[in-house]
Structure 1
Amino acid sequence: MRLLRGAGPAGSPSGTADLTVLAAVPLTVPATELADVPVLSTVLDGDPTHRAASL
């Protein structure tokens, strides 16, 4: 995973990102199964904080 850091504040186009990558599209998963969708990766303030072993 490659992240580009900008000089702007978080939330701006050149700022850092917070994101979560899930194993399924949440809008297509039944609400009763949403909690069971695996998290593949997370990024906080532009830094990777979690990466699933399967990646």
Structure 2
Amino acid sequence: MLALFYLERLPMLKAEGKTIVALTHDERDCHLADRIIKLEPGRIALAAPL
């Protein structure tokens, strides 16, 4: 089910100009993002465009 979201639905929403905020513990999905904000306990560890 998640594969369907990341491989089909997410690109479709992006093509429509939609903004998506997604949270994941699996960094393998991050390559699909335009921007990443990585959180570590109590702080932002990384905030960068891809």
For normalisation by structure 1, the TM-score amounts to: 0.28
Which structure carries more relative contact order (alpha carbon 8 Å, separation 6+)? 1
For normalisation by structure 2, the TM-score amounts to: 0.30
Q: Which has the higher helix share?
A: 2
Larger radius of gyration: 1
